[in-house]
Structure 1
């Protein structure tokens, strides 16, 4: 085997992580020769590394970012960050420990984003359940309320007295809640609105005027036109 070919083989074996003795046995040369080649390889590596750092510093001085070093110099991201930290320290910028804090802050920021996304998903799930609950109990609450305020009107209660009634106040708060929950989804509230419109129409012809006006007020609130 010629000298150059043998040296190239030694370099390849060393790069594979093999020890000096092992390489010497495989190639059939002395340990001293392999050690010499290894030293030359390390020196060349340091020289190459120095050239890369010099080029990187030039780019950083021009305002480039670590990601630009990865692209233009074709080096790993970890190496780009190492060089970037060295550059900052040499220019009197934050120490590596402060940079580590910055990196932790950036990681925490990403965690916050993920948490916020999860919370948003949970919120919409809760909103969906709240809407389902509104539809489930809404008909019962309002059906009883319209029956109740009609009865109050029949015994001579004024509109003011009806609107102060405890059951009416509950229905009023319910209509406000339903209107709020469906403000961005008015189509979803239509079944309940149609039910209330039907009750209001019946109250207009059959119930005393105070009962009709109180029922009409609930319809306005449900449609998001609360005057109070």
Structure 2
């Protein structure tokens, strides 16, 4: 489990370029909505609130998917179910690496699956703008976690193979913590962080490393 958590953290961190592109507009809007917050230090409390809410949302999603995986293990032959879920996780990691490296954008189609739910949730978060209190930041961050995102969906499918609701929650929490430096930096530094998107080699490096994780997973699957 420890190896999976470390890998999930690294996937979140290496996917930072995608996070900046996908969530950059949201982070900028939230930053601009903060009254009288002109410096990074003044923006920090509410930025932490947004991201704490986001991590809670990810953890809940991970628990739901981990619990679903646990249910599948209960109703399918154990060995076959474990191998099937692990193989699905390895495939999603491979596709995620191709997605992050911008060599193949097929995972973007997954985002359409959550678009209908997002159309329902997004207005709820909008009602709390502008943010003036910590509970508002926490709530907006929780809603933010449900934004349709191929990166998040890939790790959620991976969490199916975790074996329990708790393991799924921890996996998504580790992933969320990996995204934290990039999105927190975006909120505090605004345009300076966004300029990282102009370096395609960073995306390609991140994609190649995640593909490496996938190949290791395939090797472990075939070796057992």
Q: Which bracket does the TM-score occupy, shorter chain normalised? A: under 0.3
More relative contact order in 1 or in 2 (CA 8 Å, sep 6+)?
2
Bigger radius of gyration: 1
Question: What TM-score comes out, normalization by structure 2 length?
Answer: 0.25
Question: What TM-score comes out, normalization by structure 1 length?
Answer: 0.25
